[in-house]
A and B are shown apart, each in its own frame.
Chain A
Amino acid sequence: MIVIEVFTRPGCSYCPQATQFINNFVKGKEIKVKHLNTLTQEGQLLASKLGVMAVPTIFVHSDIHQQRIGFRGKPSENDLNKALEIVSKPEEKPKEKISFLKRIFKR
């Protein structure tokens, strides 16, 4: 499941447009949107954990991809699609390091 987190705050003049853009963007797509008001405890906690220092800030992530892709302000549709493409693929696991001896002796 892909998740888009939208951090906003009342009084932020660019937040309503970012919110509307995300709501329109996800229509018909299997994406969960979490609107996080940074005045609430939930919003504050997650903003603090993710190092959010401004609103609107948008993050895209999924359960198969650990990396969160973040956007400051409203992203372009193209950039958001690229982020979706990245998080919808499983993250490549780093190759296990095999010692020189193991490689030589195959065990």
Chain B
Amino acid sequence: MYDLIIIGSGPAGLSAAIYATRYDLKTLVLGNTLGMITEAHKVENWPGEKSIHGFELMQKFQNHAKFLGAEILLETVVDIEKQDNFIVKTENNTFEAKSIIFATGTQKRKLNLENEEKYLSRGVSYCATCDGPFFKGKVTAVVGGGNAALMAAHILAQTSSKVYIIYRGNEFKAQPAWVDKIKIIENVEFIMNANVTQLHGENKLEKIVLDTNQELIVDGLFIEIGSIPTIELTKPLSLELDGHKHIVVKQDQSTNIKGVFAAGDITTNSNMFRQVVTAASEGAIAANSSFQFIRGMKNE
């Protein structure tokens, strides 16, 4: 039996693990990725690191948590049940814990176009870091106007012959630092106030159509239009969600269910800022609250 099971091994989950192990809690982290931040080819706002690849940063988080004694398993949680304690089932194992921290983060939002699924891995991608190099010398397009979209365009511009950035607004919402970087790249073209409406191609993506009636011949389309919370596992415990499906948490990261805490991009806290630094902060607070909860159980 574990004191604490943390579901999710991104910045929030691993930060929670670091704090929990230092509180001497027997801690298990279950997750299938190191979080979406691993796809960021540059993180330039994590204190102490001027510029670091997201994957490298998360490996440091993971090594730190392991060094302190956290057990980390690359397993997908499929169910959670509340009995006297919490029963957490993965594809292959069942675990028990006194307390739970949800740090399941978010997943990429889709355009929900008719052929989006058909062209997935055949030109449509949600990860420029992973799939960008397959489009060396080819024409690509990025949909979106936030940090992730401009970062994707920055990566693609290094290998693609041309990169379009298609954004529905007339001004990027990304941080000015990213906008400045993109503006000076010669093979990047902005198409503002436009939306992709159709995808075409025989066996792979060949052409996209915009609502401005423009047709673009492209080999790759990278969709970076934000993310949605990963909430499937909140259902068995009936966790309270807000209108945008984020887990409602109090200042101490507690949820409406006793012994269950949540941290990171999936919660309503940190002014929805969605940064590594805020996720890590929420993870630390959640671990502290879980520790208080377990200590209270022992004192009862």
Contacts and interface: CB of A to CB of B under 8 A. Distances in A.
Contact of B33 (A14, A38, A47, A54): A14
Interface string A7-44: 00111111111001000000000000000001100001
A47 B134 contact: yes
A52 B121 CA distance: 8
Contact of A53 (B36, B39, B53, B122): B122
Interface of A: 9-17, 20, 38-39, 44, 47, 52-55, 57, 72
B130 interface: yes
Contacts of B185: none
B266 to A, nearest CB: 16
A9 B39 CA distance: 11
A54 B121 contact: yes
Rank and list the top 7 A-B pairs by shortest CB-CB distance, nearest first: A54-B121, A13-B33, A12-B130, A72-B121, A11-B129, A13-B38, A11-B55
Nearest to A48: B134
Interface in B71-129: 74, 76, 120-123, 125, 127, 129
B51 interface: no
Contacts, number: 64
Contacts of A20: 74
B281 to A, nearest CB: 22
Nearest to B40: A11
A14 B134 contact: no
A54 B134 contact: yes
A26 to B, nearest CB: 16
Contacts of A72: 120-121
Contacts of A47: 134
Main secondary structure of the interface of A (DSSP, over half): loop
Contact of B34 (A13, A38, A53, A55): A13
Contact of A10 (B33, B55, B121, B123): B55
User: Which of B38, B39, B54: most chain A Cβ within 10 A?
Assistant: B38
Interface in B224-275: none
Contacts of B53: 11
A13 B125 contact: no
Given A47-B134, A52-B134, A54-B131, A11 B121 contact: no
A101 B127 CA distance: 59
Interface in B16-43: 32-36, 38-39, 41
Nearest to B33: A13
A13 B74 contact: no
A3 to B, nearest CB: 21
A52 B122 CA distance: 8
